[in-house]
Amino acid sequence: MSVPLAVVAADSQLSLEENRKRTDQRLKRPRVYEKIQAFFRDMADGVISPILRLKTNKSLCNLQCQHCCEEPYMERDLIARTGKPDPRRQMDLADYADLSRQADEYGIFRFVLTGGEAMLDKNFEPLVAALNPDRHLIILDTNGWHFDEKKVNWFASLGGYKAQISLDSYYEAEHDAFRNRKGSYKKAMRSIEATKRGGMELLISTCIVKGRVFSREFQELVDFCDANEIPLYVTLAKPVGSAREHDEWICTKEDVDRLKELEDRHNVFTHMTPSYGMPGRCITVKGINTINHDGEVVPCPYMDLSIGNLNDLPLAEILGRGMRNKWLGPYRDECIIGEHPEFIKFHNDVVSKHLDTNPLLPVPYEDGFGLTGQI
Ligand code: SF4
């Protein structure tokens, strides 16, 4: 299938930073470099190379953040709600090795290890090996609690590429209150310093709620990132997970406009910011897909509907049908889970109906996206 794309990347369009990273990969990971080149060459013909974000270890986490969208996927939440652990078959190391093989064949070059808190996974080391860090960039999402200097060096020695450390306020008391755990700010800052010192790629990720982009605290965080040359990745709170009942957290157009101003002047970005020559648009299927612990593939970090399970179908087939779905395939300027009333209603109705009889998310393809049209 060919999807028209207005922007075709050329080396001259890349920022110096992106060029530096690509040159680096030419030497360190030739197969990654080869896949990036192929992606640039073929993206105008509709070829995609999405990030695969892996939720491992049943999303176990040591913190309990106020607007965590992962809580409904966690074993602790499931046991609290139903008294039982997750009965579904969980992906094992052989499954991840097979996923790595399929991803490589597809031309995918990025895995993000997330949770919960991925550093709590006792299988972390063999998991990284199974994902083949010579052929993929392995990126770690962490709250920093366990990511000290020793762990930074260890992750680098396994072939890890980058750490994405979350910080939800530049002010210690606010961050700790948000995380529901005293000391989490100090641990996050320590891991930021350790990652910088270890020479590993680094970004800080932060979640904004309504009004935060106008606050003094946020400006101080931006200044800190500028001074230390750390990119700031911003996510916008969505009415999902623990934030489902908090409409007051949802950002307005004023927040988004202010964020765009900051993006123009600082190294601040969201997942819709143009990067790697891609236009800034909704990235369902084509930008980031989350692989749940049971193999379900979810085409947006904020959705609870699957496009297929890796236990049943090859990755390429699942991504292909996602791209043919009328909601997910087309390149759109808007965020459909945040801005499109018809889609939000469809999504939330399907999730509510599913939860009436089944406590496990995401909703399988047959009961959600499978009921919608194809393009
Ligand atoms: S629906 Fe919104 S949150 Fe999801 S991928 Fe698109 S822009 Fe991102």
Lowest mean pLDDT segment, chosen from 230-244, 325-339, 340-354 = 230-244
Q: Which of 300, 325, 334 to mutate to test the pocket of ligand 1 (most atoms within 8 A of CB)?
A: 300
Mean pLDDT of the chain: 88
Q: How far is the CA of 287 from the centre of ligand 1 (A)?
A: 9
CA distance 49 to 151: 29
Lowest mean pLDDT segment, chosen from 93-107, 248-262, 267-281, 295-309 = 267-281
Ligand 1 closest atom vs CA 337: 1
CB 75 within 8 A of CB 132: no
**Has residue 60 got a pLDDT over 90?**
no
pLDDT value at residue 53: 96
pLDDT digits (tens, 9 = 90+) for 176-204: 998 888 999 999 999 999 999 999 999 99
Alpha helices of the chain — where are they, by DSSP H?
A: 16-28, 30-42, 75-82, 93-106, 124-130, 149-158, 172-179, 184-197, 216-228, 253-265, 315-324, 336-339, 341-357
CA distance 169 to 173: 9
Q: How far is the CA of 181 from the centre of ligand 1 (A)?
A: 29
Q: How far is the CA of 204 from the centre of ligand 1 (A)?
A: 20
Q: DSSP state, 277?
A: T
pLDDT value at residue 165: 96
Ligand 1 closest atom vs CA 272: 7
Task: Give the residue, by CA position, lying nearest to ligand 1 atom 2.
Answer: 335
